Structure 1
Amino acid sequence: MIRFLVPALCALATSAAAQEMTCVPTRDDEERLSRLDMAWKGARDDAIKGGAAEELRRLGPIADPRVNLNRPQPTPGRYQCRTIKLGAGSEGMLPYIAYGWFRCQVTLTPGGDLILRKTTGSQRQSGLICPDGRRKARFVGVLSLGDEVRTPRYGADPDRDLIGEVRRIGEDRWRIAFPWPAYESKLDILELRRTR
């Protein structure tokens, strides 16, 4: 009996979490995403001026705004993920930072919602990956910090709200580009690679 009860409870918890999330961005986030091209240009220019041209070249499709593959939504499963920050968000910030690898998970709820959660690290994104055409998808979610246990509610704090463009960049590899984040940079990139 317990064997069947545990998966059912997990499904209910995941479904309840999805109901608190939304694919409808705030007006501010919609406006931020509309300026994604400007974020890419400013962030890449800053990184190159700051001496990170070679790093950008090595990143290949991760840092190439022109990537245009089909199937933009990642498949459910476990992922390695890392954050790359491009462009100085304010005076004194570094124009290029690449962090190490952490763990992410993509789950499909019984209702058909696709949820992404970064499960380790001091800055953890969580939210819905929403359809937005054949070549891109949209991430709408929030940022948890430090040892916070409760995930902030989307729309409650603009500094924690996240919006990003999801694109597939290769076999079992995706990226989410977050324009104009509240902290540190002009563009954050979350790179995802599927683990076997």
Structure 2
Amino acid sequence: MKTATLATLLCGCAALLGCGAKTRVETASSAAPTAPTVAPDENWQLVATDEDRDRVRGWRDTWLAAVAKARKGGRGADIDRLGELVDPDRALTDPLPPAGAYRCTVYKIGAAGTAMADFTAFEPSDCEIAPAGALTAFRKTGGVQRPAGLLYADGPRAIFLGTMVYGDEIKPFRYGQDRLRDMAGYIERIGDRRWRLVLPAPRFESMLDIIEIVPA
């Protein structure tokens, strides 16, 4: 399987999602300068599709429904073992991981179809955090399903907008090009050098994906 270099990540995420390094817009008057405003391509609500804005805004209902379905399906013990990772209100300050190499573990909760399990835990695999102009890029580099995209500061959380990369694909689709590839969620810090990427209502397999992120 081919793995993209860090340079590919920076170019791919920034260019393909349409969010390059742009200077923040400032306005001024003769009396006194105003505070800088966020450039349009740094505002996730202006970048996200309508469908993805709805997915992000409805994250709590999706989370509770997914966990309830998993428990109803007999996977309550698996949910309980995850502890604070599945506490929807566990959000600490400083949501963005520093740039570097990480290990990511994917948990799929609540089956989205009859053929899927209500809880699936995957083996940890490699992922990366890197600067991408004024934003930050996240990419899972190991495994057959590899989310890749940009993180937008948004209070105690950072919003993730990206696409899914499959198999031996190297270059992610442009965000918004294919709704079946588009992904939306948020990242937050839940402990000392521990983060999670939450993906409510992903396209396939599950009602909720949680990706645990820890330093490699």
Q: TM-score range by the shorter chain?
A: 0.7 to 0.9
Q: Name whichever of 53-62 and 179-188 sits farther off.
A: 53-62
Match of 1:115 among 123, 137, 153: 137
1:13 is displaced (CA, Å) by 7.4
Question: CA offset at residue 85 of structure 1?
Answer: 0.3
Return closer, same or farther for 1:85/1:16 CA change in 2, 3 Å cut-off: closer
Corresponding residue of 2:184? 163
**Percent of paired sites with the same residue:** 36
Give the alignment of 1:125-140 within 5 angstroms.
125-133=147-155, 135-140=156-161
The answer to whether 1:64 aligns with 2:60 is no
Change (3 A) 1:16 1:119: closer
Work out whether 1:180 is the aligned partner of 2:176.
no
Instruction: Map residues 46-125 of structure 1 onto 2, 5 A cutoff.
Output: 46-109=69-132, 111-125=133-147
Q: Is the 8 A contact 2:13 2:148 kept in 1?
A: no
Counterpart residue number, 1:193: 214
Q: SS at 1:71's partner residue?
A: coil
> Is 2:141 the counterpart of 1:145?
no
> How far, CA to CA, are the matches of 1:50 and 1:146 in structure 2?
30
1:50-95: CA deviation from partner (whole Å, max 9, x where unpaired): 2221211111121111112111111111000011000011223211
In structure 1, give the amino acid aligned to 2:75: A
Structure 1 runs not aligned, ≥5 long: 1-9
Cα distance in 1 for residues equivalent to 2:171 and 2:134: 24
The Cα of 1:47 is off from its aligned counterpart by 1.1
Using structure 2 for the length normalisation, give the TM-score. 0.80
Task: Identify the match of residue 49 of structure 2 among 4, 26, 40.
Answer: 26
Render the CA deviation track for 1:142-162: whole Å, top value 9, x for unaligned: 001111222111111111100
Match for 1:193: what amino acid? V
State the Cα deviation string for residues 77-133 of structure 1 (Å, max 9, x = none).
Answer: 100001100001122321100100000010013x23210111111000100011000
Structure showing greater Rg? 2
* Unpaired segments ≥5 residues, structure 2: 1-5, 20-43
Deviations 1:136-184 (A, max 9, x none): 1100100011112221111111111000121111111110111111100
Q: Which amino acid aligns with 1:180?
A: A
Q: TM-score, normalised by structure 1?
A: 0.88
Structure 1 residues 124 and 16, CA gap change in structure 2 (3 angstroms)? closer
What value does the CA root-mean-square deviation take over the aligned residues? 1.7
Q: Name the aligned partner's letter for residue 10 of structure 2.
A: T
CA distance in 1, matches of 2:198, 2:135: 20
Could you tell me how far 1:16 is from its partner in structure 2? Answer: 6.2
Q: Aligned with 1:66: secondary structure?
A: coil
